[in-house]
Amino acid sequence: MKPKYFQSDSSHRDRWMVSYLDAITILLIFFVAAAAKTAPTIKKDPPPPAPVVVIDARKTAPVTPAPETLEQDKLEQDLLNAGLDVHRESRGLVIRLPQAIFFSSGDDRIGSAALPTVEKIAEVLRATSNHIVLTGHADSVPIHNRHFKNNWELSAARGMRLLELLKDRYGIDEARMSVSSDGSNRPSNSNETPDGRANNRRVEILILDEPAKDRAGDGRTPAALITENRPN
């Protein structure tokens, strides 16, 4: 057996394997890097937007009613407290007079039984400066006598009688009042029965939203409005 130093070194035959493995490793790293560049990027959904909070200024800020509205509200409550039939319309408050103020057929006179009711109305009217319109109504029964030619004149006369009563007995300034006539055109009940016709013989009191001074200076007297609704 030859000594070890005379034996041929066989390990040099496998040195090429080291270089081969290094080359394979470098190629593997190259392909992995190339694949990473071409791989699709997964996009994440953006977070949902924060909810928008809408602030209603009408709820956060208190609304102060106009002085005119407050006055009308108080006026309406005073009329209701007096036991009167009142409702609100676009122009103002309307008082519908109860049975005690109804007129006899073809008559414009206000009976004494109506005076307590008129007094209650006058007390409320004195507490405001708003303009007052007295609208007379009649039933559908035709009329033609030495006092009234038709229901238009009869209705206007009923409004005038109430104006005179409010002015002379209860001190309501006539400059605040005017009279109009609806004749038999706006019945509140059926004209087919005696009770219905009695309800239609009435005067409605409209308290306008505007003060009486806003209507001054037009040169009309209270009676001037009698013929405004009369047919030609």
- Token pair recorded at residue 48: 């949902």
Q: What is the pLDDT of residue 178?
A: 94
Q: What is the pLDDT along the chain (232 residues), one digit of tens a residue?
A: 555 555 555 555 566 565 767 777 777 777 777 776 665 666 666 677 767 666 565 555 555 555 566 677 787 887 788 778 888 888 888 988 766 567 888 888 888 888 888 998 899 888 888 899 999 888 888 888 888 899 899 899 989 999 999 999 999 999 999 999 998 898 888 889 888 888 888 888 999 987 766 554 444 444 444 444 444 3
pLDDT of amino acid 219:
42
Q: What is the pLDDT of residue 106?
A: 84
CB atoms within 10 A of CB 106: 17
CA angle 193, 115, 108 (to 5 degrees): 50
Note the pLDDT of residue 16: 59
Pick from 145, 147, 161, 149: nearest CA to 201? 161
Distance CA 111, CA 128 (A): 26
Backbone φ, ψ for residue 227 (5° rounding)? -90, 0
* pLDDT confidence of residue 164: 94
The pTM of this model reads: 0.60
| Predicted local confidence at residue 212, as pLDDT | 66
- Which domains occur in the chain, in start order? 66-227 (3.30.1330.60)
Q: What is the number of alpha carbons within 13 Å of residue 15 lying toward its C-beta?
A: 5
Strands (E), the chain: 85-88, 92-96, 130-136, 177-181, 203-211
3-state secondary structure of 146: coil
Neighbours of 86 (CB within 10 A): 19
DSSP string, 164-194: HHHHHTT---GGGEEEEE-TTSS-SS-TTSH
Residue appearing with tokens 């007079």:
97
